[in-house]
Chains A and B, each alone.
Chain A
Amino acid sequence: MRRALFLVPLALFLVLAGYFALALRPGYDPQMLPSAMIDKEAPHFDLAGLNGKRLALDALKGNPVLINFFASWCVPCRQEQPVLMRLATREHVPLYGIDYKDNPANAAKLLAQLGDPYRRVGLDPDGHVGLNFGVYGVPETYVLDATGHIRKRFVGPLTAEEVDKQLLPLLKALNKP
């Protein structure tokens, strides 16, 4: 009994060390928030498009799609642009953009500069669509299934690793049935 008491600090240390290991593990971002919208129906939107073509949720139903919130003023969006280009040209993923709180002319300039991975781009100048999706920063990428339900959210710039390990397998699974 006495002996066991001496082990208490060691046990406490191990528990603490366990918590630290959990919080410091590679790839864990404590700022990342789980989306409250997972498996819920995506909020309705029908937006004016960048090239005159409207972007509406109802028109996207029928196939799993990707919706990427971006803006010309957003630096990490430039960082993920090559990954998006690869998704669009090599993987042929239906990728749609929503230009969040932005000036359309600037967005057009950005896409002309870096390449345009989007099938269509909707304009959300006051950010209300982003608000309805629960966007709290750009870029954010949502995976919608064929019925228009949100299946996954990626916060921050998409990385090649996320695409290969999570996004593509998920799209494959959604495309199967």
Chain B
Amino acid sequence: MRAPPSCPPAPSLKVKGRTLARVVTRPCLARAAFAFLLVLAMAAHARAMEPSERLADPRLEARAEAIGATLRCLVCQNESIEQSNASLAHDIRILLRQLLVQGDTNAQARQAIVARYGEFVLLKPPLRPATYVLWFAPAAMLVLGFAGIVLWLRRRATAIAGAAPLSPQEQSRLDTMLREADR
């Protein structure tokens, strides 16, 4: 198969007749990157949901999917119930849809599931005093790290600036040593 004009065959780097490396041209790289991102994007939308679970009302279904994406499947623990194939995830999807059909608000439906499984089902933990460490520790560590670097740089700068210049004797000794080293 011939490559389309946007992606010419890669020229190669040759030294003494041997191919060292193929040069990936820019359009090719862009195309590869685009394909990679496309695959990633598809993975993000992968759903485990079966067609029979879908609600007839597209607006309710959209709400259910939005809520479901924020709920953790307790069997696999790092997938949302929308993504997981576990039968428990299926059960919670059905329950969620039943609650919405009954007329629950988003918050009520979420709360009904939190009441059964605890706040662990929320993929995004709520901001409360108990979770402050979780939310703020990374930023705090970053700030501390930068503060440490600034402190260290400042101290080094003053140490260099504060050093006394060489006396004439020291200078001449240094010159002799350097000359001997050169010889």
A76 within 8 A of B: no
Interface size, chain A (Cβ < 8 Å): 16
Residues from chain A with Cβ under 8 Å of B118 in the complex: 33-36, 134
Q: How far is the CB of B111 from chain A (nearest CB, A)?
A: 11
Measured CB to CB, the nearest residue on chain A to B116 is: A134
Residues from chain B with Cβ under 8 Å of A35 in the complex: 118
B95 within 8 A of A: yes
Of B92, B114, B116, B119, the most chain A CB neighbours within 10 A belong to B116
A37 within 8 A of B: yes
Measured CB to CB, the nearest residue on chain B to A134 is: B116
Residues from chain B with Cβ under 8 Å of A134 in the complex: 116-118
Residues from chain B with Cβ under 8 Å of A101 in the complex: 87
Q: Are A36 and B116 in contact (CB under 8 A)?
A: yes
* Residue-wise interface mask of B (68-106) relative to A, using a CB-CB cutoff of 8 A (1 in contact, 0 not): 000000110100000000011001100100000000000
Q: A136 with B87: in contact, given A31-B77, A33-B74 (CB under 8 Å)?
A: no
Q: Which of B41-78 contact A (CB under 8 A)?
A: 74-75, 77
Q: How far is the CB of A126 from chain B (nearest CB, A)?
A: 8
Q: Are A131 and B91 in contact (CB under 8 A)?
A: yes
B135 within 8 A of A: no
B120 within 8 A of A: yes
B-to-A contact residues, CB < 8 Å: 74-75, 77, 87-88, 91-92, 95, 114-120
